[in-house]
Amino acid sequence: MGKHRLTQAYAWFLARWARRLSWKEVASVFHSSWDSVFRLVEMAVAWGRAHQDLGRIRAIGIDEIAWKKDHKYLTLVYQIDSGCKRLLSIGANRKIKTLLGFFRWLGSERSQAFAFICSGMWRPYLKVIAKKAGQALHVLDRFHIMTYLSKAIDVVRAEETRALKAKGYEPMLTRTRWLLLKRPDKQAPKLADLLRYNLRTIRAYLNAQAPPLAPAQRVPCQRAVFQRCCGGLQHQGKTDLQKILRLPDLPWR
């Protein structure tokens, strides 16, 4: 194959083994070099990308992984259709241009055919998805939603604790941080006593315990759940969730 000393059949043989073992192990077992295995994997990936069928993608998932210290990330895009799940793209960093590069590579026509997109709440991802595939149902990761709500509850708790102390009331919210952030099935009996009081923190906690979103619910429903969860976090006409956490502008419709 070209200027390489390996035959095409043997090159594909090693490339397939590189899917099962580390490249170092493949090189050691078959008496080759790491550089040779790397080139063969690169050859296989290039061939696969040139011959893959991209015409029937209806659902994709977008996520980032940390591959190195000091916040070095990769952006991963997967096809998550029921009959086909595969990795479509790996991009350096998690910036706007990273995800834009995927949509430009895929093409506008295929991007407009997306029906579902699942992602976290990273602001650059939200902006690109709204711009390039605004017609798709955008499903937000429930973990990120609950993370934002938990942070907001903790901030409200700290503010209300200071206010109660300043007014001379009993510091009933002291040492309740983790109590309010635990899962309902992991909470201590002390929570039952705390729920008897009509406090901003308690209202925020109860609203945040709204039933989780079903995967098939549409974006307007997600917005309604967000607004319901924020209902107990009102502060001077603004939602604490927006004011404290500075949530990204989600592409609600």
> Could you write out the DSSP letters of every residue in 95-110?
SHHHHHHHHHHH-HHH
Residues of the chain with pLDDT under 70: 1-4, 184-189, 210-253
Q: Are strands 238-239 and 234-235 parallel, antiparallel or unpaired?
A: antiparallel
Question: Does residue 2 form part of some domain?
Answer: no
Question: Does residue 46 form part of some domain?
Answer: yes
Indicate whether 82 and 113 sit together in one domain: yes
Indicate whether 37 and 63 sit together in one domain: no
Pairwise CA distance, residues 127 & 100, whole Å = 10
Domain boundary at 88, 123, 140, which?
A: 140
Question: Does residue 1 form part of some domain?
Answer: no
Tally of CB atoms within 10 A around 62: 24
Indicate whether 47 and 103 sit together in one domain: no
Domain boundary at 121, 140, 159, which?
A: 140
Indicate whether 118 and 34 sit together in one domain: no
Indicate whether 236 and 147 sit together in one domain: yes
Query: 65: domain CATH number?
Result: 3.30.420
Note down the domain range covering 18. Answer: 8-51
Indicate whether 132 and 159 sit together in one domain: no
Indicate whether 163 and 177 sit together in one domain: yes
Question: Does residue 135 form part of some domain?
Answer: yes
Pairwise CA distance, residues 93 & 75, whole Å = 6
Indicate whether 199 and 109 sit together in one domain: no
The pLDDT of residue 230: 52
Indicate whether 96 and 173 sit together in one domain: no
Nearest in space to 88 (alpha carbons), one of 76, 104, 100, 73: 76
Indicate whether 102 and 167 sit together in one domain: no
Structural domains of the chain, count = 3
Q: What is the pTM of this model?
A: 0.67
Pairwise CA distance, residues 155 & 170, whole Å = 19
The pLDDT of residue 70: 85
Indicate whether 231 and 241 sit together in one domain: yes
Q: Are strands 59-68 and 116-119 parallel, antiparallel or unpaired?
A: parallel
Indicate whether 132 and 146 sit together in one domain: no
Backbone angles phi, psi at 117, to 5 degrees: -135, 125
Question: Does residue 99 form part of some domain?
Answer: yes
